[in-house]
Amino acid sequence: MLKNPSIKIPFKDNLLIYLAGFTFSISPAKSGEWIKSIFLKNKFNIDKSTSIPIIFVERFYDVLALIIIILFGLSFLGFEFLPIVILCVGLLFSILFLIYSKSKFNYFIRFASKFKFLQKFITPLENSHEIIRKSITPKTFLISTSLTIFYRLIEALSVYLVFLGFGIDLISYFELTYMYSASIILGSISMIPGGLGVTEGSLASLISSQGIAFSSALVLVIIIRFFTLWFGVIVGFIALKLSGALNVNNH
């Protein structure tokens, strides 16, 4: 996505800035990761109007990957999740419609400007409609969605390994993948920082529905969240220090 608007930065710096964004994973719907645009501005003088829309589309691909995984596991999760899936799919298509309609995009910008915590991002988004469109070309769409699904499958593998570490094999890897993805979506919809409480509670409920005691499920969920959320935050702080992204630009 950085290549589309001809942004070229060293791979090492790219990786460190990406990981540094994990520091703010506990923000509502990971909105704090938009601070990566400030890192890119400070270190490489990349205008926010160029980087913010790319990060916006990155969040789009993240949600899309989760929805695709949940759709595959809908028969296992139960069709009571169907309204949530429909809501998220509707939201994603609405975003695509906004991206391809300049007038509707401008209307959304005016609406979003009413929310104080989004106001700092409005001007960069307002001037970058074309960059967002370039980030959703068929080729970029296919590659980015595939990579994000792969990332979520690796994350689910860590969940599965926690279960194996406790000697629990009642739930298969793919079943855990569906349950974990559904809990992440529920946590994101709640708009609570990091989905705290909602993600844990929904995941524990789904796990206990498979014959595991709820108290045991809660212990498992706490360990899972350490490796999938808080460990990432710790890595983010380390990457934040190594990247030097918070150093003020001399100019």
Q: According to the model, what pLDDT value does residue 246 have?
A: 62
Confidence of residue 31 (pLDDT cuts 50, 70, 90): low
Most confident of the ranges 62-71, 85-94, 120-129, 185-194: 62-71
Tens of pLDDT, residue by residue over 180-201, are: 988 888 887 777 776 778 888 8
Higher per-residue confidence, 248 vs 156: 156
What's at 202, amino acid-wise? S
Give the pLDDT confidence of 199-247 residue by residue, as tens digits.
888 888 889 888 888 888 889 999 998 888 888 889 988 988 887 766 6
Reference 226, options 17, 26, 19, 20; nearest CA is 26
- Does residue 251 surpass a pLDDT of 50? no
Binned at pLDDT 50, 70 and 90, residue 143 comes out as very high
pLDDT value at 154 more than 90: yes
Average pLDDT score over the chain = 81
Percentage of the chain modeled with pLDDT above 90: 11
Region 108-133: what's the mean pLDDT? 70
Determine if the pTM surpasses 0.85: no
Can you give the pLDDT at residue 119?
65
Q: What's the CA gap between 32 and 25, in Å, rounded?
A: 7
Q: Answer whether residue 57 shows pLDDT above 70.
A: yes
**Residue range 121-139, pLDDT digits in tens:** 666 666 677 788 888 888 8
